[in-house]
Amino acid sequence: MSLKITVTKMDFGASEELTGKVYDVIIVGGGPAGMSAAIYAARYGLTTAIITEEIGGQVAKAGWVENYLGYTRIMGPDLVSKFEEHVKYYNVPIIIDVVENVERAGDLFKIYTMNGDEYTSRTIILAVGERRRKLNVPGEDTYNGRGVSYCAPCDAPLFKGKVVAVVGGGDSAASAALLLTEYASKVYIIHRRNQLRAEKYYQDLLLHHPKIEILWNTVVKELKGDKVLRKAVLQRTDTGEVFELPVDGVFIEIGAEPPVDFFKRIGLELSKDGYIKTNHLMETSIPGIYAAGDCVDLTPRDFRQIVVAAGQGALAAYSAYNYIVRKFGMNRH
């Protein structure tokens, strides 16, 4: 087995070696669904490549992961490194680029990227996950990287002894807040309702943590500062009261949405809220295209789990393999 490492960052377009061949499967997305699909596809003997904007997807921005089989407690970015190491073991190239469109070309698919490259594949597995939601309030962009963050594990150590706030009431907000307590002196959670969406395990930890204070029924109106973020302007949703909260950091953890425009361009059948429709074998409405992970309708909206994405990725590779053998035979190369 080859141990050659092939992560390829393409700033000026990919090499002929990568673009010039017909792949059995191109996986779009490098989160747990895509990486798991790559391992299964490679083990089926399929010529495989991953094209992804970033390695690890949401997991790369997650704090402590405590529910992925085999790891009692591991930081999101460390788990991503383990996934990457596993994919590299099978010599699957990970191409850093953004897929902009996919078109049918006879029995094959053409894949077009932002770098201007074109790839050809017999099948495609879409594992693109979701895009992080933004608050869309004044100051959010101004102070991005100067107090505003979307990645707790990346930025939490910068807030040692400081006061921070996490916006959101789901598992991501809970996980970010708990991670931040390891560094910050005080962690506010700003939540628009009076009940958390986060799983019970997290709720118990948050509600009893001495450093955490939850500001219920509260929304962010504006983020203000000078060269760096200094305060958040907040409003209570029940009384309408507007007030300022002095903070050094604001972590925005308010969920994510699927890239609907991209899916529509490909012509995939989607759910009303823009997720890819698949059957239990991860087959989409287009034969030869499969989907897995957070971007599929099948995955419950409140159960975006790494283990579910990885399982669906494996299933997608299984379906791609069966399709390829049926349609192109074993001696296709």
Sole binder of ligand NAP in the list 38, 173, 291, 315 (CB under 6 A)? 173
For the bound state, the minimum distance from the C-beta of residue 200 to ligand NAP, rounded and expressed in Å, comes to: 11
Distance CA 129, CA 114 (A): 18
Two structure tokens written together for 68: 């992925």
Sole binder of ligand NAP in the list 110, 192, 209, 224 (CB under 6 A)? 192
Query: Which residue, 61 or 122, has its beta carbon nearer to ligand NAP?
Result: 61
Q: In sequence order, which residues have a C-beta less than 8 Å from that of residue 113 and are 6 or more positions away?
A: 51, 97, 98, 99, 100, 119
Distance CA 29, CA 20 (A): 21
**Of residues 24, 155, 248, 294, which has the active-site annotation?**
155
Query: Which residue, 76 or 288, has its beta carbon nearer to ligand NAP?
Result: 76
29 near ligand NAP (CB under 6 A): no
∠ CA 224-229-230, nearest 5°, is 75
b/e burial code for range 9-26 (CB count within 10 A of at least 16 → b): ebeeebeeebbeeebbbb
297 near ligand NAP (CB under 6 A): no
129 near ligand NAP (CB under 6 A): no
Sheet holding 148-149, edge to edge: 148-149, 249-252, 163-167, 186-190, 212-215
Q: Is 295 a catalytic residue?
A: no
Distance CA 177, CA 206 (A): 8
> Which of these ranges, 109-117, 165-173, 237-245, 272-280, lies near ligand NAP under the rule CB under 6 A?
165-173
Sole binder of ligand NAP in the list 56, 77, 255, 258 (CB under 6 A)? 255
302 near ligand NAP (CB under 6 A): yes
Query: Which residue, 165 or 320, has its beta carbon nearer to ligand NAP?
Result: 165
Query: Which residue, 74 or 219, has its beta carbon nearer to ligand NAP?
Result: 219
Q: Is 151 a catalytic residue?
A: yes
Total count of residues recorded for the chain: 333
Active site residues: 151, 154-155
